Structure 1
Amino acid sequence: MKRTLLLLAALAMPAHADIAVSANDGKQVLDDGRQIVPSPLVPDSISILDFGGGKLRVVATVAAPASVIGPPRSVAITPDGAYAIVTCARRVRADGKDIEPDDRVSVIDLKAAKIVSTIRAGAGASGIAIDPSGRRVLIANRAAGTVSLFDLAGGSLRPLATVAIGPTTSSPAQPIFYDGGRQALVTRDGDNRVSRIVVGSDSLALVEPATMASLRPYAIDAAGDRHFAVTGNIGGGGRDMDTISLIDLSGAVPVTVDTVAVGLTPEGVKMSRDGRYVAVTVNNGSNMPRASRGWSDHGLLQIWRIDRGRLVKVTEAWMGGWGQGMVWSRDGRQILAQAMLGNRIESFSFDGTHLRRGAVLTLPVGPAAIAGVE
């Protein structure tokens, strides 16, 4: 009966609704700054959310493997809103005491609220990008040092090509498409580079030299006309000041044009749909041991404006600890931000100048990655 009600709720979603999908990890929790496997385990899941206009509700929940390891864009939604794709970078080891690389990828039919197909990518399958056509999908395989290209049709993924980005230690984390889907960038937090890839109909070609953003580029995003991309750089290791960087994509070669300090560990970056603003979740020491010099009991949600090739800070607000990903509403007036501590998804309104707190959802396990329709 409960399953039937969830499906009816999914079918009743209005076409104009703001829809997001949160990937939730039950395998990792923090114990005074140390990531551990909880006992007992709570299953991973996918939450389908309806938000916008100040509201926030769970439409349906689907059991599916997910992981907090990697940038918080390990889930993506097709442009038509029909399917979500989620990777699982880590699984629990056989002894139940730790985690190890995984490679599972699930495709979820959002209307039916169920997994319709699964496939295996590379070891440590992590960040996902879907091209504007909704047919080509890139997945970064962090533990393999590769990026894989898939064709998506009828809810099934078909492998097309895989390219080596660098050694396994390069840790390719998050890809994005740009140039109408003809090119892509992928962050490499293992060796401080952002690689450019030429994307063919069934091929990938790595282009050298790589772009240098800052230390350990990790999260990356682009939106609007994709004139710019922004990276979150985590080279401070939770102790020293970290940064975000702005990359100009308009020329023949991507060029980093600005880098600004944001605090400790910018876990996620997300541009507004018009490409004018950048939201950043900053851990702010909330994922560190309490005895650490930089420990804090809260994270930060920051908003930056892209102004003539520069990043200008607009505002910030306190949020839950160990922050992960974000999504913007279609009208740019609402932001959802994930906090692994407390298993929270927090809503904020944004008027172009200020952030104000709104509704909060508490989930059974930690929300680790999130995506909306783009």
Structure 2
Amino acid sequence: MHRTILAAAALLWAAPVPCPAQAQIALSANDNKQVWENGVVRTLPNPPADTVNILDLGATPPRIVATVQAPHSIVGPPSSVALTPDGGLGLVASSNRVDPANPTRVVPDNRVSVIDLRASPPAVVQTVEAGLGPSGVSVNRAGNLALVANRNAGTVSVFRIANGRLEPVSTLTVGPPASGVSHVQFTPDGRFALVTRDADFMVSVLKVEGEQVTAAGRDITVGIRPYSFGITPDGRWAVVGNVGRLSGDSDTASLISLTSEPFRAVDTITVGATPEGVQVSPDNRHVAVTLINGSTRPEGHPLRGRGQVVMLRIEDGRLQRVAQADIGTWAQGVAFSSDGSRVFVQNMVEREIQVLSFDGQRLATIDRLRVDGGPTAIRTP
């Protein structure tokens, strides 16, 4: 955390505004290609460029430090951006792009952009190719390896991080292309990674030895369509959001114990309809889950509802629901402040980041930050 604050402070020093004492940098990516119109997702002709907002979450209210143009997409879990632990680089995946042959639809993309966050102003310095439909992205704690889950290929791309650049190392086949490989994340010790497969309902364990990433031979059974997930900083737990069949029924989140091998699911709890974003708190105790909750259905639909964020507590190897609050339409990613007292939710349709306070028992909206597109993925280092 100390290194993150120093890197963030250096970035803010380059901006023409005073540098706050407790800066906390986050990346929030925006899709400007697709919009929601009364229950229908439409691809815009000749859309403006997708963007990435570099945020200071330590400021009150949070603020946009800089904005960079980079291809991005709402398709896939809202964990398709990542930062290196020192805050120097940002990685942004683009799972879909406008079809050159038909501008009214999108087709799978394969690009991952590398942003130099220490440049003044921050800028894209490299674009690399992953597999089809790059979605969830993660960097190990050593800051020298990145993984990208390729949603349309059933693979995970492995990249070396060196000298401010990504270098391809290998591609691991996790399942068939239709398996829906969605998000991949290292365990904090760097020895393993987990990858969700939302089309065949399992979480696969990968083994990491140096730059070699292989299948560990262990697939974990969770709920229906595991999608986003977070791992506690102490490496004891992973929490997976299971988006279900998008049928309007209440869906679930599963708790995976990482304290001994083989890893296994130990609890599943009902959270509400369509858990989209999942993030764990810095103190290892809480999990924020954003629920679409029927908010994308047309007006008058019997299953239409308001988006919600639900707070869970990890206690005695179980998940307990402790708070919830209303949020916006087609809500996506979620992040915590460094002290866990604030929660930041992306509302796609409203084009805003909703800020909520959390005191361990209650969630309450305290601010809203307008952004320059539909926010679809957010991460902190």
Give TM class, smaller chain. over 0.9
1:137 equivalent in alignment to 2:153 = no
Instruction: Give yes or no for contact 1:278–1:305 (8 Å, CA) kept in 2.
Output: yes
Letter in 1 for 2:31: D
The size of the alignment, in residue pairs, is 368
Give the distance between the partners of 1:311 and 1:67, measured in 2 at CA.
31
Aligned position for 1:75: 81
Give the distance between the partners of 1:90 and 1:178, measured in 2 at CA.
28
Instruction: Give yes or no for contact 1:10–1:60 (8 Å, CA) kept in 2.
Output: no
Q: 1:154 aligns with which of 132, 142, 163?
A: 163
Deviations 1:79-102 (A, max 9, x none): 111111010000000120100000
Q: 1:120 aligns with which of 105, 108, 129?
A: 129
Give the distance between the partners of 1:60 and 1:133, measured in 2 at CA.
26
Give the distance between the partners of 1:229 and 1:66, measured in 2 at CA.
26
Q: Counterparts of 1:160-309 in structure 2 under 5 Å?
A: 160-178=169-187, 180-296=189-305, 298-309=306-317
Aligned position for 1:96: 103
Give the distance between the partners of 2:16 and 2:274, measured in 1 at CA.
36
SS of alignment partner, residue 96 of structure 1: strand
How many angstroms does 1:272 deviate by?
Answer: 0.3
Instruction: Give yes or no for contact 1:264–1:282 (8 Å, CA) kept in 2.
Output: yes
How many angstroms does 1:32 deviate by?
Answer: 2.0
1:362 equivalent in alignment to 2:374 = no
TM-score by length of 1: 0.95
Give the distance between the partners of 2:22 and 2:369, measured in 1 at CA.
22
1:319 equivalent in alignment to 2:327 = yes
Q: Which moved more, 1:90-99 or 1:34-43?
A: 34-43
Instruction: Give yes or no for contact 2:218–2:262 (8 Å, CA) kept in 1.
Output: no
Deviations 1:264-296 (A, max 9, x none): 100000000121100000011001223432112
Instruction: Give yes or no for contact 1:72–1:267 (8 Å, CA) kept in 2.
Output: yes
Aligned position for 1:110: 117
Q: 1:179 to 1:80 in 2, by over 3 A?
A: closer
1:42 equivalent in alignment to 2:51 = no
Aligned position for 1:3: none
Deviations 1:214-238 (A, max 9, x none): 1100001102211000000011314
Give the distance between the partners of 1:293 and 1:137, measured in 2 at CA.
43
Letter in 2 for 1:106: S
Instruction: Give yes or no for contact 1:300–1:317 (8 Å, CA) kept in 2.
Output: yes
Instruction: Give yes or no for contact 1:76–1:128 (8 Å, CA) kept in 2.
Output: yes
Deviations 1:109-158 (A, max 9, x none): 11221111110100001101110101110100010100111111122101
Instruction: Give yes or no for contact 1:49–1:60 (8 Å, CA) kept in 2.
Output: yes
Consecutive unaligned residues in structure 2, runs of 5 or more: 1-11
Consecutive unaligned residues in structure 1, runs of 5 or more: 1-5
Aligned position for 1:19: 25
Give the distance between the partners of 1:20 and 1:209, measured in 2 at CA.
33
Give the distance between the partners of 1:30 and 1:256, measured in 2 at CA.
35
Letter in 1 for 2:276: E
Give the distance between the partners of 1:81 and 1:274, measured in 2 at CA.
20
Q: Which moved more, 1:162-171 or 1:285-294?
A: 285-294
How many angstroms does 1:53 deviate by?
Answer: 5.6
Aligned position for 2:8: none
Give the distance between the partners of 1:74 and 1:91, measured in 2 at CA.
15
Give the distance between the partners of 1:371 and 1:209, measured in 2 at CA.
27
Q: 1:91 to 1:341 in 2, by over 3 A?
A: same
Give the distance between the partners of 1:11 and 1:166, measured in 2 at CA.
48
Q: Which moved more, 1:147-156 or 1:49-58?
A: 49-58
Q: Sequence identity, in percent?
A: 42
Give the distance between the partners of 1:13 and 1:105, measured in 2 at CA.
30
Aligned position for 2:5: none
